[in-house]
Amino acid sequence: MRIKFFTISKKIQLIIFFYFLFSIFCFLNQVKAAAAPQIYFQTPKENYNLGDEITVAIFINSVEPVNALQVELGFSANTLDFESFNTNDSIVELWRASPILLGGGIARLEGGIPKSFSGKNGEVAKLIFKAKEGGAAELFFRTANIYAADGLGTLLETQVLPLHIAVFDTASQNLNLEDKTPPNIVDLEVTKTPIEGQKIVVFKAEDKESGLKMALIRTRSWLTWSKWQIAFNPVGLTAGVWSFQFEAVDNQGNSAFRTVYVPEAITRKAIYGILLFGLFYGIYQIYFKNSRRHKKLL
């Protein structure tokens, strides 16, 4: 009796091949993103009171050795009063010029790292501010050029992360100590920016008794939630977010809570899920049927 071993059709082979290529492509993109240098701000806390001193450190993470940087950053000059730089613990040893305040909420840092740096939490400098007015404050990078220590001065693609902090004018707040009413979420919607088309959350919340203390938001791209973060209007949504939760908190600790779903993202994830399920189910069926046929022939 002639024994026939099961074979997979060319169509199924092509599907498996292209799925394998797609998986490799996604993996390489993730590796590239993980390997890119990252520059970010860090502060001990996110909430301050009027008159507080605020120390903000700038850090670099880089897998590849780097030896030079040019950074221009911005900050909310109406809320924060810049006082000084501190570079005592900096990985930068050769400053082209001392960190410079350009005015209008802009500062520049430029220097070299003779021994190069690779790793995590490489401190560039500390910035010292004083909270001069209540409100939301933001620190962000206008430009962030980081160069590889490869002998060619290759400019690396760099990830930049902004920082948001809140300054509360507690001295001037007329607090109602008997306030037991939660804030009112007047408006909460998802829309898109007119030029880039990025999804953003626009909200309006108020508390007429003790005043609104803060707004918080967390998102969900797959099954787990991100950490709660202070929300500053508007809030940008990263690609893939299909649900988010919004919370408004007043000065007496009362809060209002709402969950919002993004139908477009849910539909896209459902389609991906169905396609993946169909692919794996098809492979399983082909393998199972051919295995049974193979056993019968034996």
For the stretch 99-130, pLDDT in tens is 888 888 999 999 999 999 999 999 999 999 99
Q: Are strands 212-220 and 163-168 parallel, antiparallel or unpaired?
A: unpaired
Q: Is 80 exposed, middle or buried (0-12, 13-18, 19+ CB in 10 A)?
A: buried
- First CA to last CA across the chain, in angstroms? 9
How crowded is residue 134: how many other Cβ atoms within 10 Å of its Cβ?
18
Q: Which of 292, 278, 290, 274 is nearest to 9 (CA)?
A: 290
Residues near 107 by beta carbon (within 8 Å), at least 6 away in sequence: 72, 73, 74, 75, 82, 85, 99, 100, 101, 127
- What's the rounded Cα separation, in Å, for the pair 136 and 130? 14
Give the pLDDT of residue 293. Answer: 61
Q: Report yes or no: 67 and 110 within 8 Å, Cβ to Cβ.
A: no
Give the pLDDT of residue 6. Answer: 45
Greater confidence (211 vs 75) lies with 75
Give the pLDDT of residue 32. Answer: 46
For the stretch 11-69, pLDDT in tens is 555 555 555 555 554 444 444 444 689 999 999 888 888 999 999 999 999 999 999 99
What is the DSSP code (8-state) at residue 295?
H
Q: Is 293 helix (H, G, I), strand (E, B) or coil?
A: helix
Question: Which residue's structure tokens are 């005043």?
Answer: 211
For the stretch 126-161, pLDDT in tens is 999 999 988 888 899 999 999 999 999 899 998 888
How crowded is residue 143: how many other Cβ atoms within 10 Å of its Cβ?
11
- Please, what are the domains in the chain? 38-171 (2.60.40.680), 180-261 (2.60.40.10)
Q: Is 185 helix (H, G, I), strand (E, B) or coil?
A: strand
Give the pLDDT of residue 12. Answer: 59
Q: Is 35 helix (H, G, I), strand (E, B) or coil?
A: helix
